[in-house]
């Protein structure tokens, strides 16, 4: 059975941990020490790493993590991500923990930003948050609108796993 938990990191980042039994996948390892500690504490076997985009708070932990846990690293082909050995562009389907994972191109926050949809769970990095969306660092407003429309077209029961805890800030802004 697929279980999803988070590893808190940095000021407000979520590093997502997907696991089925002893096998695990990590999403956006901005802090290697937090991930390594959790993998050791739970005796997980790291099977893959997913990276949504190139910003350091989502991938800076890769070199240290990979020294300790060599694993395939999936990430945007068009972005510079140290250790990415499985470059993706969106539209692909990969296998994670015995399940199909759909890769979605969702530019806006960054030009190569990706999201990963596995077993009804969407890992969307910095594109969508509770009460808001990501800032435009490289993409255009039109790209962000298209990406958000793509995410809105997913089934209503899709669970959203974003890259930061911005809920309170976003809701205060909206009020």
Q: Catalytic site residue 109?
A: yes
- Considering the candidates 19, 53, 54, 113, report the single residue annotated as catalytic: 53
- Considering the candidates 31, 109, 146, 156, report the single residue annotated as catalytic: 109
How far lies 81's CA from each of 54, 60, 68, 128, 129, in Å? 6, 9, 18, 21, 23
CA pair distance 109, 76, nearest whole angstrom: 13
Q: CB-based burial of residue 157 (10 Å sphere; 0-12 exposed, 13-18 middle, 19+ buried)?
A: exposed
Q: Catalytic site residue 126?
A: yes
Q: Catalytic site residue 53?
A: yes
CA pair distance 64, 146, nearest whole angstrom: 35
Q: Catalytic site residue 164?
A: yes
Q: Catalytic site residue 12?
A: no
- Considering the candidates 19, 28, 31, 57, report the single residue annotated as catalytic: 57
- Considering the candidates 126, 146, 156, 157, report the single residue annotated as catalytic: 126
- Considering the candidates 19, 54, 113, 164, report the single residue annotated as catalytic: 164
- Considering the candidates 19, 54, 58, 113, report the single residue annotated as catalytic: 58
Active site residues: 53, 55, 57-58, 109, 126, 164
């Amino acid at each position: 059975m697929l279980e999803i938990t988070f590893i808190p990191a940095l000021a407000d980042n979520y590093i997502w941990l997907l696991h089925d039994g002893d096998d695990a996948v990590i999403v956006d390892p901005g802090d290697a020490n937090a991930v390594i500690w959790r993998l050791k504490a739970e005796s997980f076997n790291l099977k893959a790493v997913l990276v949504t985009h190139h910003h350091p708070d989502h991938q800076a932990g890769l070199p240290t993590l990979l020294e300790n846990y060599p694993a395939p690293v999936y990430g945007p082909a068009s972005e510079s991500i140290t250790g990415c050995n499985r470059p993706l562009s969106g539209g692909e389907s990969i296998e994670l923990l015995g399940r199909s994972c759909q890769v979605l191109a969702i530019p806006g926050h960054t030009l190569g930003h990706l999201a990963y949809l596995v077993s009804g769970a969407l890992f969307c990095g910095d594109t969508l948050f509770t009460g808001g969306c990501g800032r435009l660092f490289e993409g255009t407003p039109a790209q962000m609108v298209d990406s958000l429309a793509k995410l809105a077209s997913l089934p209503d029961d899709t669970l959203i796993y974003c890259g930061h805890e911005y809920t309170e800030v976003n809701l205060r802004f909206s009020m």
